[in-house]
């Protein structure tokens, strides 16, 4: 699968190597060196995925993230060398799909991006039911009582993962490993724990707002206090 | 039981309450002083009263004896009847002759005389002759005119009164030797003494109450500021660094307040300084992290590109690409570990404690190390009493810690099985990782948690450890108020045991797992 990836990065050598690496893996890269130009490039190029550096001269990553999320559902991965929990948490609340901590490798980047770009592949199950929601895995469709619900690949993967094992309570760490493909979380020591789980919380909330009748009283994806998330009992 | 408990409670109060102790001590000492003084006064007054009365009684008695003797000596009575009537007129009259109080009188014939004259002895009706002892009579009989006295107890109706018996020999012409006894009741003096003693006791009690109140008032004036200081220092200890003691006047209490406040100021400034240093340190760590990460990103991306294409290179270039790739990874881990340890040094680590199932943490750690273990030919055996062991821990740090112990065990385990044991007690949980590899000597054990220390510098590191792993693990254990301990023997293997409290802040004194672990009996059929 060939994707068009927009990379916004002010460090030219990083930008160039990311571009070589992604192009060698068969993807098309649109490079942008300046935060101020990023939105124009985004509108013009219509990418499938955005890799956005946090600290940019001029308009910074957070500003660009806000503007992209406001006009499109293209997943945005924040690339960061920062260690500030609060600001990262803010990025997730604003709708970043994931983050990559510098230094990142191209292989990891592509692997993680895959999860944001396309649904999980399942050989054994084709149609999964979770309460009133039915998931057609091969067609990549989710519907409730015949009405189709449009989910991002990330939300789709999140729902499918929970629906496939309805008796299991997924901790946030488990979901990060299974859905976001984060490595061993102990390694991500720059982020003192809060941020990762906030990433999960935010996307669970987004998923609920699309599939639940009343997102404030979730029935399909329920919260297990102090543990994580679980499919509702039907 | 009730009494004993009350005493225990009173002792407890005295131990805790400085003021109560001061007041009780003052009252106790005053009580002793009052008793001594009162006893002294009471004795002095009693003695004085008695001596005065004795002198009075003796002089009265002497006068009476002389009078009686003179009467008999001067009498011209020559027959029994005349003598008897003389005695009867003289002796009973003595009963009312005393100055203020009536006395009892007895006139007894000295036994052992051959005289034929037998006269009736006049004796006062109320007088019990038993109070005149034989000893007294002997003394009187031996006396040459002098009066003899003895103090006695007189039974009067229901009570017993103190009294004095005074006796003297009387010679009656024609009739022989007689003894005249005068008995005085000292009840009046006793009553006076009782009154004085009663007044002394009441006065003493009133004095004690006053002393108690005064000492309570005085000590409360002194203890109150001390109590205030104690309360304020407690608040400061709890973190309210802005608390101060109001200082008034220039006495020693005000001095205490001033110096206490100065101490609190210093403490607060010091803490502020440390906070600033810690913030600067964190800032520095954050900056270093950012500055190093940016070039490392390029290096990593480029390194991966080269590594991915290593098959196209001539052998020396291919080897270089492989070496570079592994060293980039190591550099990255080293950077992470350095940042982590400096965060601990700056005191900037706050655990994310949550109640989780320890078993899932342990299993996850084993799972992540399994590929490495398989590569080295190591089997990992898990021993646990239960599949659900709840504990309030920072699961990321504990997973990292266990993974780190496992990585060490795999590296030094010489492809022999690695035992992971999990234990749970009421207050603590424990995980131990045992390998049967090279082990460690005593001196190596002492240094195993040191930063960048290596058991054998010549030994090749195959798993790319940074030398900070165990130092960070120890910090992680400390963050949980837990223990990370090690036991090892050269060529037999090592055991690392992690013990954590079940709940944040709960105290434990024993680990649920033994260290060193119990030896498994290989042949259990015997």
A15 & A80 share domain: yes
Domain contains A111: yes
Those residues whose C-beta lies under 8 Å from the C-beta of residue A156, and which sit 6 or more positions away, are A119, A120, A135, A140, A142
Q: CA-CA distance, A187 to B313, in Å (whole number)? A: 32
pLDDT per residue over B297-349, tens digit each? 999 999 988 998 899 999 999 999 999 998 998 888 888 888 888 878 777 77
Query: Are the beta carbons of B340 and A189 separated by less than 8 Å?
Result: yes
pLDDT (average), residues B145-172: 84
Contacts of B354 in chain A (CB under 8 A): 226
- The interface residues of chain A toward chain B in range 109-168, judged by CB-CB distance below 8 A, are none
ipTM above 0.85, yes or no: no
pLDDT per residue over B1-37, tens digit each? 778 888 888 888 888 888 888 889 999 999 999 999 9
| Nearest residue on chain A to B390, alpha-carbon basis | A227
Q: Which of B285, B297, B350 sits opposite A103 (nearest CB)?
A: B297
A11 & A93 share domain: yes
pLDDT per residue over B271-291, tens digit each? 899 888 878 877 787 778 778
Q: Which of A13, A192, A226 sits opposite B298 (nearest CB)?
A: A13
Domain residue ranges of chain B, discontinuous segments joined by +: 15-194, 253-343, 352-501
Domain contains A122: no
Torsions phi, psi of B23, nearest 5? -65, -45
Question: In this complex, is the C-beta atom of B298 within 8 Å of any C-beta atom belonging to chain A?
Answer: yes
Torsions phi, psi of B105, nearest 5? -130, 145
Question: In this complex, is the C-beta atom of B33 within 8 Å of any C-beta atom belonging to chain A?
Answer: no
- Among A117, A150, A178, the domain-final residue is A117
Domain contains A191: yes
| Residues in a beta bridge with B299 | none
E strands, B304-352, where? none
Question: In this complex, is the C-beta atom of A34 within 8 Å of any C-beta atom belonging to chain B?
Answer: no
Helix (H/G/I), strand (E/B), else coil: B463: coil
Neighbouring C-beta atoms of residue A189, cutoff 10 Å: 20
What dotted CATH number matches B253-343? 1.10.287
Asked if the model's pLDDT at residue B209 lies above 90, the reply is yes
Give the up-direction half-sphere exposure of residue B245: CA atoms within 13 A in the CB hemisphere.
26
Domain contains A199: yes
Domain contains A76: yes
Q: CA-CA distance, B422 to B512, in Å (whole number)? A: 9
CATH of the domain at A192: 1.10.10.10
Torsions phi, psi of B377, nearest 5? 75, 30
Q: B200-204, B248-252, B381-385: which range is least confident on average?
A: B248-252
Q: CA-CA distance, A49 to A60, in Å (whole number)? A: 18
pLDDT per residue over B258-268, tens digit each? 888 898 899 88
Q: What residue numbers bound the domain in which A21 lies?
A: 4-117
Contact criterion met (CB below 8 Å) for A88 and A82? yes
Contact criterion met (CB below 8 Å) for A200 and A139? no
CATH of the domain at A102: 3.40.50.2300
pLDDT (average), residues B446-472: 75
**Residue B490 C-alpha, separation from nearest chain A C-alpha, in angstroms:** 31
Full 3-state SS string of chain A:
CCCEEEEECCCHHHHHHHHHHHHHCCCEEEEECCHHHHHHHHHHHCCCEEEEECCCCCCCHHHHHHHHHHHCCCCEEEEECCCCHHHHHHHHHHCCCEEEECCCCHHHHHHHHHHHHCCCCCCCCCEEEECCEEEECCCCEEEECCEEECCCHHHHHHHHHHHHCCCCCEEHHHHHHHCCCCCCHHHCCCCCCHHHHHHHHHHHHHHHHHHCCCCCCCCCEEEECCCEEEECCC
CA distances from B45 to B34, B150, B197 (A): 16, 20, 9
pLDDT per residue over A110-165, tens digit each? 888 887 877 666 656 678 888 888 888 888 888 888 888 888 888 888 998 998 88
Q: Supply the pTM of this predicted model.
A: 0.57
- Among A69, A97, A117, the domain-final residue is A117
Number of domains in chain A: 2
Those residues whose C-beta lies under 8 Å from the C-beta of residue A215, and which sit 6 or more positions away, are A205, A208, A209
Query: Are the beta carbons of A106 and B305 separated by less than 8 Å?
Result: yes
- Among A91, A117, A143, the domain-final residue is A117
Q: CA-CA distance, B245 to B183, in Å (whole number)? A: 77
A113 & A132 share domain: no
Pick B352-501's CATH classification: 1.25.40.10, 3.30.565.10, 3.40.50.2300, 3.40.640.10. Answer: 3.30.565.10
Q: Specify the DSSP element, H or E, that contains B484.
A: strand B483-489
A35 & A137 share domain: no
Q: CA-CA distance, A157 to A137, in Å (whole number)? A: 10
A10 & A110 share domain: yes
Determine the topology of domain B15-194 in CATH.
Beta-Lactamase (3.30.450)
Contact criterion met (CB below 8 Å) for B286 and A80? no
| Nearest residue on chain B to A80, alpha-carbon basis | B290
A106 & A144 share domain: no
Domain contains A156: yes
Q: Which of A14, A104, A186 sits opposite B397 (nearest CB)?
A: A186
Q: CA-CA distance, A81 to B155, in Å (whole number)? A: 112
Quick check: do B15-194 and B253-343 share a fold?
no
Contact criterion met (CB below 8 Å) for A62 and A54? yes
A135 & A99 share domain: no
Q: Average per-residue pLDDT in chain B? A: 85
A162 & A194 share domain: yes
* B267 backbone φψ class: left, alpha, beta (φ>0; ψ -120 to 50): alpha
Query: Are the beta carbons of B294 and A14 separated by less than 8 Å?
Result: yes
Question: In this predicted structure, what is the pLDDT of residue B524?
Answer: 36
A227 & A134 share domain: yes
| Residues in a beta bridge with A228 | A171, A224
Interface test with A, best of B281, B284, B298 (most A CBs within 10 A): B298
């Amino acid at each position: 699968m060939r994707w068009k990836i927009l990379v916004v990065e002010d460090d030219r050598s990083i930008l160039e190597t990311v571009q070589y690496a992604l192009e060698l893996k068969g993807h098309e890269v649109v490079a942008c060196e300046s935060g101020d130009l990023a939105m124009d490039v985004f509108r013009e190029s219509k990418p499938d995925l955005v890799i956005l550096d946090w600290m940019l001269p001029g308009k910074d990553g957070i500003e660009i993230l806000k503007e992209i999320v406001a006009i499109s559902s293209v997943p945005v991965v924040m690339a960061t060398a920062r260690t500030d929990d609060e600001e990262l948490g803010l990025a997730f609340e604003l709708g970043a799909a994931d983050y990559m901590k510098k230094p990142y490798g191209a292989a990891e980047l592509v692997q993680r991006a895959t999860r944001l770009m396309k649904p999980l592949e399942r050989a054994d199950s084709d149609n999964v039911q979770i309460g009133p929601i039915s998931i057609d895995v091969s067609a990549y469709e989710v519907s409730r009582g015949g009405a189709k619900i449009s989910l991002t690949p990330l939300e789709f993967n999140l729902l499918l993962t929970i629906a496939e094992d309805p008796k299991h309570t997924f901790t946030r760490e488990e979901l990060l490993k299974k859905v976001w493909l984060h490595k061993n979380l102990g390694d991500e020591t720059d982020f003192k724990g809060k941020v990762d789980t906030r990433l999960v919380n935010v996307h669970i909330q987004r998923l609920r707002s699309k599939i639940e009748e009343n997102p404030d009283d979730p029935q399909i994806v329920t919260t297990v206090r102090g543990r994580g998330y679980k499919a509702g009992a039907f | 039981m009730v009494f004993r408990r009350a005493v225990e409670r009173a002792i407890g109060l005295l131990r805790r309450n400085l003021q109560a102790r001061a007041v009780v001590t003052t009252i106790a000492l005053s009580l002793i002083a009052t008793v001594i003084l009162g006893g002294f006064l009471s004795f002095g007054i009693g003695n004085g009263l008695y001596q005065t009365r004795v002198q009075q009684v003796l002089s009265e008695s002497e006068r009476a004896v002389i009078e009686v003797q003179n009467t008999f000596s001067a009498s011209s009575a020559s027959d029994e009847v005349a003598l008897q009537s003389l005695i009867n007129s003289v002796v009973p009259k003595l009963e009312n002759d005393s100055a203020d109080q009536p006395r009892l009188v007895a006139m007894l014939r000295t036994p052992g005389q051959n005289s034929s004259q037998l006269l009736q002895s006049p004796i006062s009706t109320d007088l019990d002759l038993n109070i005149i002892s034989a000893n007294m009579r002997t003394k009187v009989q031996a006396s040459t005119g002098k009066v003899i006295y003895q103090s006695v107890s007189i039974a009067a109706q229901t009570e017993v009164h103190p009294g004095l018996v005074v006796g003297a020999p009387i010679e009656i012409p024609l009739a022989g030797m007689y003894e005249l006894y005068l008995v005085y009741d000292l009840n009046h003096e006793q009553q006076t003494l009782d009154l004085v003693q009663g007044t002394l006791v009441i006065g003493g009690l009133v004095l004690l109450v006053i002393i108690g109140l005064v000492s309570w008032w005085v000590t409360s004036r002194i203890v109150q500021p001390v109590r205030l200081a104690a309360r304020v220092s407690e608040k400061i200890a709890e973190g309210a660094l802005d608390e101060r003691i109001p200082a008034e006047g220039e006495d020693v209490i005000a001095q205490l307040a001033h110096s206490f406040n100065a101490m609190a100021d210093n403490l607060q400034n010091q803490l502020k300084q440390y906070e600033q240093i810690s913030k600067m340190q964190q800032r520095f760590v954050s900056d270093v992290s950012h500055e190093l990460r940016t070039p490392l990103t390029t290096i990593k991306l480029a390194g991966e590109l080269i590594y991915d294409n290593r098959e196209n290179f001539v052998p020396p270039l291919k080897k270089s690409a492989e070496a570079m790739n592994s060293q980039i990874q190591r550099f990255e881990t080293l950077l992470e570990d350095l940042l982590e340890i400096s965060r601990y040094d700056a005191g900037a680590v706050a655990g994310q404690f949550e109640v989780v199932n320890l078993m899932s943490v342990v299993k996850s750690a084993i799972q992540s190390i399994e590929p490495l273990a398989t590569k080295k030919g190591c089997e990992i055996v898990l021993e646990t009493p239960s599949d659900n062991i709840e504990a309030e821990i920072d699961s990321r740090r504990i997973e990292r810690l266990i993974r780190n112990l496992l990585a060490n065990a795999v590296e030094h385990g010489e492809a022999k099985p690695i035992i992971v044991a999990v234990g749970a007690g009421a207050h603590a949980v424990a995980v131990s990782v045992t390998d049967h590899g090279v082990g460690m000597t005593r001196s190596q054990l002492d240094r195993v948690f040191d930063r960048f220390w290596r058991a054998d510098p010549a030994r090749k590191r195959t798993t790319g450890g940074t030398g900070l792993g165990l130092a960070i693990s120890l910090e992680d254990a400390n963050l949980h108020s837990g223990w990370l301990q090690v036991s090892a023997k050269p060529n037999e293997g090592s055991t690392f045991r992690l013990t954590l409290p079940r709940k944040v802040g709960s105290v434990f004194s024993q680990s649920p797992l033994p260290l060193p672990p119990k030896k498994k009996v290989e042949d259990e059929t015997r």
